[in-house]
Every structure is written in C-alpha cells, then in structure tokens.
Chains A and B, each alone.
Chain A
Amino acid sequence: MNFQAIKVIFQYEMLRTWETMFQSVASPVLSTSLYFIVFGSAIGSRIQSIEGVSYGMFIVPGLTMLTLLTQSIANASFGIFFPKFSGSIYEIHSAPISFFEILVGYVGAAATKSLIIGFIILLTASFFVDLNIAHPVWMMTFLILTCVSFSLFGFIIGLWADDFEKLQIIPLLVITPLVFLGGSFYSVSMLPPFWQTVTMFNPVVYLISGFRWSFFEVSDVSVGVSLSVILVFLATCIAVVGWMFKTGYRIKQ
C-alpha cells in the first residue's frame, strides 16, 4: 500500500481548498444564509410549523443536504477532471499507485471538504434557528455516508467527463432538481397523493428524510429505508468505479 501517495493526493486536494477558500467555504455559507433569510425568516414566518417543527428549523437538514450533495460532486469531479484536462494525469498513471489508492486520495479529500462545509452550514444555521439534534450519531452517520457516496459519484463524473459541459451537466440538470424536489423545503406529506407517489422515486427524498429524522425524529419514510437507500447508492458507486478501474474505461488507452 502506497500510503505516502494517498497522503500527498489528499493534502494536494485539501491545499486547493484552502487556496480557493472564498469559493470553497464562503460561497456555500453565504448561499445558506440567504436561504435562511428568504425561506426561514421572510417566508417561514408566515408558514405554520410542520409536524411540530418550526419551518426555519425544518429546512436546516434539507439545506445542508443541498450543499453537501452539490459540493461533494463538484469537489470530487473537479479534483480528478482537472489533471485530465491539464494533462498532468500522466503522473498518476505512471506512479507506483493502485487505482484504489487514487480513489481513497481523491474521494477522501472531497468527502472531508464536504464534511467541513456541512459543519460550517450547521454552524451558520445555529445563528438563525435554535438547532437541536436528537440523534447526533445518526446525524454524523448520514452526513459521512452522504459525503462519501456523492464524492464517489462525483469522481465517476470526473472520470467520465471529457469537457467542462459534461462535468457540469449532471450536477446542474439532475442533482439540483432532485434535491429541490426531494423535500428540502417541504414535507412530502404536504404534496397531493399523486405527486407523493412520484416523489418516492427520487432517491434524494430518502437522504433528506433520514437526515431530518436524526434532527427532529420527523421523517417522510422510515430511517431504515433511508439508510438502505444510501447504502445501495454507495455500493452502486463503488461497483461502477470498480468496473471503470478494471476495464480502464475513460482512464487508460
């Protein structure tokens, strides 16, 4: 095992985060604050509490997930795409390092960065609402599983993309709508029956529901189902990455 290589990839990626501190940290904090001001304070004050939870508090898990998902994908996809784009990927290919070690370095860094941002968002939220976490261990479990699995997903996108458009297309056109329609700002039970059924095909519903349960013990689906869905997604991403590494698809000629 080339631990030194994992370490330098991790440090290199984290260094990139610190060098782009404003884009990496300030931007999600600012956008989250704006969501709280607009949805939490301005609109939220006119909305009744949902299942006993004030609207301002209710949207905290959804907002955190919104940022976590987009950041995990963006960090991991850009991390591996940029060396491909600049051509410096040759160093990774010619180094005595396995695909698994490459994966641990890049995905580990992306997930760590997302995790840090997640905590910053929760900290930001605590300035706007009185935040209580009913199940901190489950909250951490959902947070880590989400960061790792969506960083893996981002890594797949980064390997697959051969231009900037492809790099952006899935986060913009798939992930963002799924998160917005996945119950970030509302409970699924507030929808008409038909749309409730449709919404259940959205995997993000299960992530947000499980995460929200860890805060308020309020959920749209059972926590076991939420956990199963995220584990299935994680296993699928691992299988796809494994297949890409084994066949060299978009990696090696």
Chain B
Amino acid sequence: MQAIVSIKNLSKVYDSGHRALNDINLDIAEGEILALLGPNGAGKTTLISIICGIVSASSGSVTVNGFDNVTDYRCSRELIGLVPQELTLNAFDTVMNGIRFSRGLFGRKKDDAYLERLLKELSLLDKKNAELRELSGGMKRRVLIAKALSHEPRILFLDEPTAGVDVELRKDMWNIVRRLRDSGVTIILTTHYIEEAEEIADRIGVISKGELLLVEDKQALMHELGKKQLIIELKEAVSHLPSSLADYDLALSGEGRKLIYTYDTTGDSTGITALLQAIHNEGLTLKDLQTTQSSLEDIFVDLVRINPSPPEQQKVLA
C-alpha cells in the first residue's frame, strides 16, 4: 500500500492531563476513503487536528507524502484540505471572498475560473456573492468544503461532515465525497454515524478512548467480524428449549414461537443442517426461516463494549 499519510506512535496529552490519543499508528493509502469511527470524545478530531497542524502532538510523528508535518509543514499542509466539524465561518463574508482567501492562504494565485467551477460542482455558484449569514446550514457546510478544496488539495479531511444535517443533504454529501474520490482525492472522514461509514468508506478505523482499536477494509471487517443469525419460526410455541438442542447457540423468543440461532460465517461448518435435523427429530414443525447479518453498527458496538468508554461516552452512544 502506497501511504500518503503515515502516522507513527502518535500520542496527545492535553495540559489538563487528558490523554486524547495513545500511541496511534496508521497508514492511509492514496485515493482511498477512510472512515474513522468512534463515539464523542474518542480522539477523532484531535487526530485530524494534529495531522493538519492545528494541535501539537505530545509524541510521535506524522508524514504527509513523505513530508514531516512539523519540520516540513509547508510541504505537508499544501497537500491537505480540512472541513471542520463546526460551521466556523465569518458570517459577514461573501462566499467568493471567503474561498479566495482560503486559496491565497495556501500560497495559490487567484484563479476565479477554478473557484467558480468548484462552486458549480457544489451547487453554490448562484450564491457566490451572498453573505454567509444568508445561507442555510447545509449550504454553509458546502462552503466549508469549497474552502477546503479551494487550493486543490490531494487529501481532504472531513470532520463529522454530516453532523446535524438532514437525510437528503447527507446523501448529497456522500455523492460529493464519492465524486472527489473519483477525481483522485484521498478522503479521511470522521463520523459517529455507522451508516455513513458503511455507505461510503473503503476502510474503517475504530477509535475509542484515544486508542485505534482496528483499521480494516470495510468488506473484510464485516466478513471477519460479522455474525449471522438464523431465525426459525415454529408453527406451535414451546415453553422451553428441548434438551437435545442445548448444544446449539440457540435463544428462545417471540413467546416460544421463535428460535434464534447465531453462527459464524467464517467457520468450516455453520451447523445449520445438523440443527434443522435435530429440530425435525424433536418433532417441531417449522413455519418460516429467515437469516440476518450483523451490521457495522453491531460490530462497532461490540468493539467499543470490549474497550468500554467513560460513562458520558456510553451515554452518547446510547
């Protein structure tokens, strides 16, 4: 894997003593969409802020396309665009003036033709002379993306890009992200919306309490950690599980009308055939069969449960 961002043994302890990141190691491949998933306070924003140069690391290093983000900060920052979580804009600024300013900060000469194309792609061209205070929340978020892309970065960080936006706008945002990836931009987004990661990411990293619990290809992650369940609906209810079925990972529900069998898809045998035979031998009659696969959300909840968050974080997750 050709890493465009490489993070080695990165830790951050704030002046308050709070350890936000603990020995993070992560390589981000060029052209991928990496979703960093984690509850509030997990350290996602701190990680992004260190890579972008907003927050100083306590230890460890970050290189961007081979440039150290502290000693070669000019070269590394030129490659990065950042869309922050909050709608941090000068309300009295116009859209065009704001993105011209952003482009200039990155040392790029004025290029209104490019900026107008960018605004058009983000459906903002007709608002280019509007003051930011006149725009809706969704449009302001698009302006933040325009500002981040104004200097034509190769890497884009999106910190909670769809936090607080409606479903339609969220899907719109996902389409923008996909289009950017197709144009060759590497995208790293943080989110606590599981469906967002499931929908658009190529790889998923899970952060909790400042620890990077795993980084895995999304499909592989869901395959490796995914559990399936077979829901067996009985024609007649049973009061308890027959002893002959005790060896199977079965749960009785639906007032005795449903048997839920959990099995591992990666094992040599799922045990379904033997289970159905055992049910038949017990004289139970089947009414219906249904299978379900655990979602990324289930996987995430399992992972964070193994590495429990502080109480306030668990509350947010709930």
Contact = CB atoms under 8 A, between A and B. Distances in A.
B89 A86 contact: yes
B105 A90 contact: no
A92 B147 CA distance: 12
Contacts of B89: 86, 88
Interface in B234-291: none
Contacts of B102: 91
> What DSSP secondary structure best describes chain A's contact surface?
helix
Given A8-B104, A94-B77, A248 B54 contact: no
Nearest to B106: A95
A7 B78 CA distance: 17
Interface string B88-131: 11111000010011111111110000000000000000000000
Contact of B88 (A5, A7, A86): A86
Contacts of A86: 88-91
Given A95-B105, A96-B107, A82 B78 contact: no
A105 to B, nearest CB: 9
A15 B147 CA distance: 19
B204 interface: no
A253 interface: yes
A97 interface: yes
A94 B55 CA distance: 9
Nearest to A3: B107
B147 A91 contact: yes
A88 B93 CA distance: 12
B80 A2 contact: no
A46 interface: no
B91 A7 contact: no
A91 B105 contact: yes
Contacts of B88: 86-88, 90
Contact of A93 (B54, B90, B101): B54
Contacts of B53: 93-94
10 shortest interchain CB distances as A-B pairs: A8-B104, A87-B88, A96-B74, A95-B105, A96-B77, A94-B52, A93-B54, A4-B107, A2-B107, A88-B88
25 contacts: A2-B74, A4-B104, A8-B103, A8-B105, A15-B97, A82-B90, A86-B89, A90-B88, A91-B102, A91-B105, A91-B147, A92-B105, A93-B54, A94-B52, A94-B54, A94-B77, A96-B78, A96-B106, A96-B107, A97-B107, A248-B56, A253-B14, A253-B54, A253-B55, A253-B56
Interface of A: 2, 4-5, 7-9, 12, 15, 19, 82-83, 86-88, 90-97, 248, 252-253
Interface of B: 14-15, 52-56, 73-75, 77-78, 80, 82, 84, 86, 88-92, 97, 100-109, 147
Given A88-B88, A96-B77, 12 more contacts: A5-B106, A82-B90, A83-B90, A87-B88, A90-B54, A90-B82, A90-B88, A91-B147, A93-B54, A95-B105, A96-B75, A253-B56
